[in-house]
Amino acid sequence: MMRKSIVSLLLAVGFLSAPAVADELKLAKNAPDRYVVVKGDTLWGISGKFLSQPWRWPEIWQLNKTDIKNPHWIYPGDVIVLDTSSGQPRLKLLKSQKVDGRGGNGKLSPRIRETSLTGNAIASIPYASIEPFLSKPLVMSVEDFTAAPRIAAGPDSRLLFGPNDQIYSVDLVDAQPGETWQAFRKGKPLVDPDNPKEVIGIEVTYLGDVRVKREGDVTTMTVVNSREEISVGDRLIRSPEKQFINYVPHLPSHAIEGKVISTYGGSTEAGSLTTVVLNRGALDGLDMGTVLFSYKAPRLIAKETSAEPTRYTPPIKSGNLFVYRIFPKVAYALVMDSTLPINAGDTAKASAAAE
């Protein structure tokens, strides 16, 4: 209840400083009439070639709410055509014959291709910048951490283990011989800055990979590799399948405001193509591809005399954030570009009618 009250209060007052949306789509300077997609392109990068506001991708493609939730499949060799004949800019897609396997001319149409095969499709954002956050657990929900299987013992009295050591674990469900699991250790709790009494996630440290040798109530496993020594009490998670992010960049369906609660990349400041953690998640309405805007946290202005009123610096937009992994109460977002360093405590917000 307290979380909902805080969110409601933020939504009521937090968007007074947010810029309003221009009704007309603004083309980027020197936007091309046609663009041939090449390997290494991203949906965000292509959108930025045509639009001054890349998060308005759904509008220039005339996508509906259902389309936005689906991946947008675009491949190297496809041609994107800018059409301004109606007075409003629109993009259309000329599919490569090599992709569709068709003879004759490809069909011009803005469309979504739904398929389980990614092939050589381009991603939404640079995959290399987010791969560690997709393949290894760096943040977990409190519930997932509590339920995770644990390393219970070794074959002798040792408490620390490395490559080729045998270990025993408990509470593994449906573990199969040969299956690989990841070992990790509990780090600091992530506290909601809007409600300091609420832990909304747990940072964890990836330790290495272990493989199931024999299943059972007590599962026998072997350490395959390790970044740090693995210890009794460390937790396990099944190695995730490789994820491919090609969701449409878009504004949220309703106003959302939260805060940056952690930054990654070996620094307390985040810049372009680094990941930040937000104190908003699926329960707050975030979904894959949501774009939020970061603003510097207000700073207290020093007084010259005690009679002066208390003043704070106004909000300054510092960057664009693309949400790419979502937990119930937290989310990972990639900083797509920034004009100022982004720090824990900075605001992240947007509305369906903002910017």
Q: pLDDT, tens digit, for every residue of 228-281?
A: 999 999 999 998 877 778 889 999 989 999 999 999 866 788 999 999 999 999
State the pLDDT at residue 227.
92
Instruction: Label residue 268 exposed, middle or buried (CB < 10 Å: 0-12, 13-18, 19+).
Output: exposed
The string of pLDDT tens digits covering residues 47-105 is 999 999 999 999 999 887 777 777 788 999 999 999 998 888 999 998 765 544 433 34
State the pLDDT at residue 17.
39
The string of pLDDT tens digits covering residues 177-199 is 999 999 999 998 999 999 999 99
Asked whether residue 231 is assigned to any structural domain, the reply reads yes
Asked whether residue 245 is assigned to any structural domain, the reply reads no
- Would the pLDDT of 13 be above 70? no
Q: What pLDDT band is residue 135 in, cutting at 50, 70 and 90?
A: confident
Boundary residue ending a domain (66, 95, 125): 125
CB atoms within 10 A of CB 298: 14
Supply the pTM of this predicted model: 0.81
Asked whether residue 244 is assigned to any structural domain, the reply reads no
- Would the pLDDT of 145 be above 60? yes
Mean pLDDT of 136-145: 84
In this structure, are 255 and 351 located in the same domain?
yes
C-alpha dist (Å) from residue 194 to 136, 137, 200, 345: 28, 24, 11, 10
Q: Where are the beta strands (DSSP E) in the chain?
A: 34-36, 79-83, 90-94, 139-140, 150-153, 160-161, 166-170, 180-192, 195-214, 218-226, 230-231, 235-238, 256-263, 269-270, 275-278, 291-295, 317-326, 331-338, 342-343, 347-350
In this structure, are 18 and 51 located in the same domain?
no
In this structure, are 195 and 153 located in the same domain?
yes
Boundary residue ending a domain (98, 125, 152): 125
In this structure, are 256 and 230 located in the same domain?
no
- For 318-327, letters b (16+ CB in 10 Å) and e give bbbbbbbbbb
State the pLDDT at residue 287.
93
Q: Which residue has the higher pLDDT, 327 or 266?
A: 327
Q: What pLDDT band is residue 119 in, cutting at 50, 70 and 90?
A: low
Boundary residue ending a domain (64, 98, 125): 125
In this structure, are 227 and 139 located in the same domain?
yes
Structural domain span for residue 209: 134-238
